[in-house]
Chains A and B, each alone.
Chain A
Amino acid sequence: MEGLGLLAHSLLGLLGPWQVTYALGATLVGIVIGILPGLSATLGIALMTTLTVKMTPTDAILVLVCVYVGAIYGGSRTGILLNIPGTAANAAATLDGHQLAKQGLAGRAMGIATTGSVAGSLFGVLCLATLTPLLAEAALKFQAYEFFWLALLGVLMSGSLTGNDPLKGWLMGFLGLLTAQIGLDGIHAHERFTFGSSDLTGGIGLIPALVGAFGFAEILMVMSEPAKQAMINTVDSVLPRIGDVLKYWKTILRSGAIGKGSIEGMMAAETGDNAAIPGAIIPALALAVPGSAPAAVLMAAMIIHGVQPGPMLMVNQPQFVYDVVAITLIATLCMLVFGLVMVRPLMWVLRVPRAIIMPVVFVLCTLGAYAIASRVFDIWVMLCVGVVCFMLRRQGFPVAPFVLGIVLGDIIDKSLRRGLVLSDGDPTPFFTRPIAGVLAAAAILTVLAQVPAVRRIFARIT
C-alpha cells in the first residue's frame, strides 16, 4: 500500500504542464532518433544528458526515459518500411514487419508494433514497480563478493549476447573495464595510467566516451558507405495512412486476435523490445548494474544528478524509484499517442539526406562531449574512443560491452579489493558464499559455454 501511495504521488507530480511538455517533446525526439538509421537510443540519451544537466533530477530522468522508450519504438518504423532496423533492438521485428509492408500491410504491421510496444512497456512497468523494491531489499545482503561477480557477470553476459562473437565481446568488456581504471583509484586515490597528464587524472568521462562509441563511431560507419538509392521512394510506396493504424489497433482491442504466423512473431519481438526497457532499468536502480547500454547512460545521468543507484536507493530515496516507474508509464502513453496519430509525418524525417543529418549530429556530439565539464580534453576523448570503436566495430567487436565495462569498472575494482581485504587475501569467500557462488558459477559457465569442446559435452548430456 505504501508503494501505491508513493506511485500516486509520483504520478501527480509528473502531470504538471512542463512535465507533460517535456515528456511529449522527448518522446518525439526519441522516436525521430529511433527512426533514423545510424542513431541509437544510447546516443540519444547521452546527448540529451548534456542538455538536461540544469534540470531537476526527476525532470531530467523524465526526458531521458522518454527518449529511451521513443527511440526503441521508433526503430521499428524503419525496420517495417525499409527493412533497416532503426536501432539494434528492432532487428527481430524487422524480419516479419517488412514482409507485411511488402504485402501492402504496413498499417497492420505498425499497429502490431504499437500494440506490442505498449503491451511490453506496460508489463515492464509492472515489473519495475514490483521487482525493484524486492531486488533492492535482497541486494542489501550483498557484500563486496556478490557485487564483484554481479558486475563481472553483467560484462560477460553483454559480451556473449551482443555481436556475433562472444570472444570479441568479452575483450571489449575488458577494454571498457580497463578504461575505467584510468585516473585516481577509488580506494587510495593513487594515479593509474595517467602518464603524468593532469587531464587523465580525472579519468575518462562516461558521457564523452559514450558519445564517441555510439555517436562518432556510428557517424563514421554510416558515412563510409554510399547512400542507398530509392530508400525514400520505398517509404512512400509502403507507408500507411493514419486510419490504417487506428483501424487495426481498434480491431486488436476489440477482438484480442493478433493473427497467425509471422504476425505473432512480430508481436513477440516488439513486445520484447519494449519490455526490455524497464527490464534493463530494474537492475540499474536496485543494484547499480545496468541491464543494457542505454540503461548504463541513464544510470550515469542519475549519478550526475546526485541520485546514487544501488540497494541503498530504496532506503534513501524510495520516492525516486516510484518516480522512475511513473515516468516509464508516462513515456509509454506518449509513445502510444505518437504511434497512433503521427505515422506519416514522423516518416518525413527519412526524406532528409543523411549527408545533412550526420554533420549536424556530429556537431551535437562534439558539444555534448564538451558540455558536461566544459573541457576540450573531453572532445579529444570522444574523438579517440570513436576512432578506436569504429575500427574495432568494422572487425566485428561490439561496442555495448565496452560501455558496460566503463560503467562497471569502478564497482568491480573496489569490490575485488574490498573483498580480498575483508578475507585477508583468501579468495574462497568469492566462491563459497551462497549468492556469490551462484553468480561465480554463472559467470564461469557463461565463458565455458562458448568453448566448442564444452558445448559438445553439454549437448551430449542434454
Chain B
Amino acid sequence: MRPDRLFGAGWFALGAAVLVASWRMDRLEGLHINPWSVPGLLPGLLGALMMFFGAALFLRAPAPDGAETSSAVPSGRIWLALALCVGYAGGLIGHELPFWLTSAAFMFVAIVAFRWLDRDAEAPAGLGRLALESAAIALSASVAISLLFQEVFLVRLP
C-alpha cells in the first residue's frame, strides 16, 4: 500500500476515534451550561475534519513527482538513535541517578557509536583514541551543562 494511503487511513481512524470520544464527552447538563459551550464541540469538529482530509489523502491520485516514496521502515541508525535517546531520557532521567553521570554516560555512548558509524566522513582515528576523546567531551559537556543550569539558571536538575 502507498504510504499516503496508509497514513490517510490512519488519519481517518484517528478522526473517527476523536469524533466518537467528543460525542460521548460529558455535556455538563447537570451544571445547566449553555449547550453551545459543551467541551466536546471543537474536538468533535476537528475529528470530522481529520476524517474528511484523511479520506482525501487516502483517495487522491499518487503524487506525480514521487514525493511520497520515503521509506516507512526506519534504518538501523534510527533504531540506535531512538534506543539511546529514549533509554537516556525515559529510562535513566528521574530515577535518583545523578544527572551529570547519566548525561555523561549517554553522550559518551552516543558520540562513540555515531562517530564510529561516520568514521568515513571524519579523519580516521583508532577506537581507543576515539573513546578517549569522546569520554573527555562527554564528561566536560555534562559537567558544563549541569553547572550552567543548576548554578547560573537556578534549575533543579532531574
What is A's interface to B at a CB cutoff of 8 Å?
50-51, 53-54, 164-165, 167-168, 170-171, 174-175, 177-178, 181, 185, 187-188, 190, 192-193, 216, 219-220, 223-231, 353-356, 358-360, 362-364, 366-367, 370-371, 374, 376, 379-380, 382-383, 387, 392, 394-397, 412-413, 416-418, 420-421, 424-425
Contacts and interface: CB of A to CB of B under 8 A. Distances in A.
Contacts of A374: 155-156, 158
B118 A363 contact: no
Given A177-B42, A425-B35, A367 B121 contact: no
A177 B84 CA distance: 31
B31 interface: yes
B81 A223 contact: yes
Contacts of B158: 367, 370, 374, 376, 379
| Closest 10 pairs (CB-CB, A-B) | A355-B114, A227-B121, A420-B36, A359-B110, A376-B94, A227-B118, A223-B81, A355-B115, A185-B39, A190-B39
Residue of A167, A177, A223, A413 ringed by the most chain B CB atoms within 10 A:
A223
A243 B43 CA distance: 58
B16 interface: no
Nearest to A412: B42
A417 B41 contact: yes
B1 interface: no
A300 B155 CA distance: 19
A370 B158 CA distance: 8
Contacts, number: 195
A232 B117 CA distance: 17
Contact of A226 (B71, B94, B117): B117
B46 A177 contact: yes
B135 interface: no
**Interface size grouping (class) on chain B:** 35 or more
Interface SS, B side: helix
A382 to B, nearest CB: 7
B120 interface: yes
Contacts of A227: 118, 120-122
A168 B49 CA distance: 12
A362 B47 CA distance: 33
A223 B114 contact: yes
Contacts of B34: 421
Contacts of B97: none
Given A54-B153, A174-B46, 7 more contacts: A177-B46, A188-B39, A220-B78, A223-B80, A226-B117, A355-B115, A418-B37
B51 to A, nearest CB: 10
A224 B75 contact: yes
A358 B114 CA distance: 10
Contacts of B63: 165
Contact of B77 (A223, A353, A396): A223
Residue of A370, A383, A412 ringed by the most chain B CB atoms within 10 A:
A370
Contacts of A229: 120-121
A379 B94 contact: yes
Contacts of A417: 36-38, 41-42
Nearest to A365: B89
B21 A193 contact: yes
Nearest to A352: B137
Given A174-B50, A396-B70, A421-B34, A224 B81 contact: yes
B85 A413 contact: no
Contact of B118 (A219, A353, A362, A379): A353
A223 to B, nearest CB: 4
A193 B45 CA distance: 15
B53 to A, nearest CB: 5
